[in-house]
Amino acid sequence: MKPKILITRQVFPEIVEALRARFDVEHNDDDRPWAPEELARRLAGKQGVLATVMDRIDEAALAAAPGLKVVANIAVGTNNVDIAACTRRGILVTNTPGVLDDTTADLTFALLMAAARRVAEGDAMVRRGDWKLAFAMQSPLGTDVHHATLGILGMGRIGQAIAKRAGGFDMRVLYHNRGRIPEADERRLGATWVEKERLLAESDFVVVMVPYSPAVHHLIGAAEIARMKPTAILVNTARGGVVDDAALVEALRAKRIAGAGLDVFEGEPKLDPGYLALPNAVLTPHVGSATRATRMAMCETAVANLTAALEGRAPPHLVNKELAQGAAT
**How many other CB atoms are there within 10 angstroms of residue 17's CB atom?**
10
Residue 137 vs residues 144, 185, 279: alpha-carbon distances, Å: 16, 42, 20
Q: If DSSP codes are grouped into helix, strand and coil, which group holds residue 235?
A: strand
DSSP 281: E
Q: If DSSP codes are grouped into helix, strand and coil, which group holds residue 101?
A: helix
Residue 212's nearest CA partner among 81, 79, 84 is 79
Instruction: Spot the catalytic one: 27, 176, 239, 317.
Output: 239
Residue 153's nearest CA partner among 84, 85, 51, 225 is 225
Per the annotation, the verdict on 286 as an active-site residue is: yes
Beta strands per DSSP E along 168-321: 172-176, 191-193, 205-208, 233-236, 259-262, 281-283
Residue 220 vs residues 7, 211, 243: alpha-carbon distances, Å: 34, 13, 5
Instruction: Spot the catalytic one: 118, 286, 295, 317.
Output: 286
Q: If DSSP codes are grouped into helix, strand and coil, which group holds residue 156?
A: coil
Per the annotation, the verdict on 239 as an active-site residue is: yes
Half-sphere exposure of 20 (CA within 13 A, CB side): 9
Instruction: Spot the catalytic one: 26, 186, 268, 300.
Output: 268
The contacts of residue 313 (CB under 8 Å, 6+ apart) are 327, 328
Per the annotation, the verdict on 217 as an active-site residue is: no
Residues taking part in catalysis: 239, 268, 286
